[in-house]
Structure 1
Amino acid sequence: MPTQPARPTDRRRRKPRAYPAFRVVALTLVVLLFIAPLVWMAVASFKTNVDIYDASKTFFFTPTLDNYENVLSRNNYFVFIFNSFWVAFASTVLSLLLGVPAAYAMSRFTMHRSAMVVLMARIIPGVSLLVPWYFIFANMRMVGGFGVLILSHMFVALPLIVYIMISYFDSMPLELEEQAQVDGLTPIGAFARITLPLSIPGLATAGILSFIFSWNNFMFALVLSGANTKTLPVAIFNFVSYASIDWGSLMSAAVVVTVPIMVIALFTQKYIVSGLTAGATKG
């Protein structure tokens, strides 16, 4: 007997079975694509330079902690860790203090042109400003200090915070502030006592992303930092010379840079997701 063509109901029954399998395969490939370099970096940090170049010892080798000892003890990377933390923390706090009130004003008073200027500042590549920055700060004798690093990081962090918080404030109902003012609060009091506590997820999102940017920033610190203010991304280049590269120590230093950010992202991912999607359901 000739086979009958599949009925539409049969096709609809097959699709749900194929789609989950495709989704699992696609997600697995994406995860492997992003995880593989990190795994290789972590494994290489426990190898000698000879083992790193030996393909037969990709997975089977004798682990060593000499690379981490070289990074943390001999090269005194704890100083660079403190420098990175201080610059990231200071630039984030100052950007929040300036950016949150500015975002609130732009949101509540519909300052679209000002918001567009902030967005343009977010789009402009920071590397295009390095030459004039260096010229200005060199004449002010600020190059090599923490102040110039904090200000340069704020140039990118501040527009990012304003852009995130504008969307977050837009999603918050204005009636809450109006009711607070009816109860006797001033507009500033309503912002400080009602709106600001409710915007903690957005503040966490903006602060975390700003801190991560500052921690990972390389170009600004390379040009504007000094011998005593080097951050971790710049200090990693101590293991790269003209003639050779100390791959083991380089991978260990990269792990030292990466692990704190991964831990922060792991424990704060719910705040990042909730803050970034705060304005998506407006209207």
Structure 2
Amino acid sequence: MRARASARSSLVPNLLLLLAIVVLLFPFVWMIMMSLKSQVQNTAAVPVWVFTPTWENYRNVIERNNFLQYTRNSMIVALAATVIGMVLGLPAAYSIARFKQRGLSLWILISRIIPYITFLLPLFLMFTKLRLVGSFTALIVSHLIITLPLIVWITIAFFEDIPTDLEEAALVDGSSRAGAFVRIILPLVTPGVVTAGILAMIFSWNQFLFSLILGGPDTKTVPVAVFNFLSYGSQDYGAIAAAAVLITLPIILLSLTVQKYIVKGLTAEGVKG
């Protein structure tokens, strides 16, 4: 009787979980299906569920639209913005955590909340004066507005959990504070660092506004490239879906590769103590 009651009590949560998974995955599955259909099938009045897959949309995207170059541009910008954000953000988060700089952390949170469009006009005017509009420098610096506050805010809590006794012991043994930070503290907060880095890269990879205004023909990123598939006359839905799949695939593969660090990082605060 208890087993039946337990099964019945877990039935509703399991059904709700299954429903949530279906709702979340359906748009992505539909996008993949559209990328494998012809334009006639994608524009049919009645959705076509049974069809012969075609790779023509992927060939058109890769061969005719320099999509590999756009992917390379996005990778350069996202990686550079994330790495620079790490170099600047991790010491800042450590300082905030160790010296209880709550005011500074509040300002970082505010900069994270402010809409990105607020920074767009000042950045555009500044880079125009410096003749950097359309360069990787402009894109990377602008994307630091996305990655740097995110990295700092996520890693503060991880640095706060590290006992100060470890640093004091290292200082007594003759290590500098910088040496203790690099050799002792950073290895202990690896899950938080990986989590912050992956999330920062995802946000940078998906950024559209800065790339549209501050980028150029040689630095065009994949979100802007997908936007360019849209026109007033007609839309090639298959090509748009194929491009969207190609944009999403690198991030999914990267997340699956380091998923254990992401899960450990995101749940660390929940199991603390």
Q: Distance in 1 between matches of 2:63 and 2:96?
A: 49
1:113–1:245 Cα change, 3 Å? same
Match of 1:207 in 2: 197
Q: Deviations over 1:165-203 (max 9, x none)?
A: 111101111111122222222222211211112122111
Identity of aligned residues (%): 47
Letter in 2 for 1:251: A
Q: Distance in 1 between matches of 2:107 and 2:264?
A: 25
1:60–1:14 Cα change, 3 Å? closer
Q: Distance in 2 between matches of 1:107 and 1:161?
A: 13
Match of 2:22 in 1: 32
Match of 1:227 in 2: 217
Q: Deviations over 1:114-138 (max 9, x none)?
A: 1111111111111222122212211
Letter in 2 for 1:190: A
Q: Tell me how many residue pairs correspond in the alignment.
A: 273
1:273 aligns with 2:249: no
Q: Distance in 2 between matches of 1:65 and 1:106?
A: 51
1:250 aligns with 2:245: no
Match of 2:35 in 1: 45
Instruction: Output the TM-score relative to the length of structure 1.
Output: 0.91
Q: Distance in 2 between matches of 1:193 and 1:112?
A: 26
Match of 2:145 in 1: 155
1:193 aligns with 2:163: no
What secondary structure is seen at the aligned counterpart in 2 of 1:249?
A: helix
Instruction: Output the TM-score relative to the length of structure 2.
Output: 0.95
Q: How far does residue 236 in structure 1 lie from its aligned partner after superposition?
A: 0.7
Q: Distance in 1 between matches of 2:42 and 2:250?
A: 25
Higher Cα Rg: structure 1 or 2? 1
CA contact 1:201–1:275 (8 Å) conserved in 2 = yes
For the aligned residues, what is the CA RMSD?
1.7
Gaps of at least 5 residues in structure 1 are: 1-9
Q: Please say which of residues 249-258 and 119-128 is displaced more in the overlay.
A: 119-128
What does 1:1-283 align with in structure 2 at a 5 Å threshold? 16-56=6-46, 58-282=48-272
Q: Distance in 1 between matches of 2:263 and 2:118?
A: 31
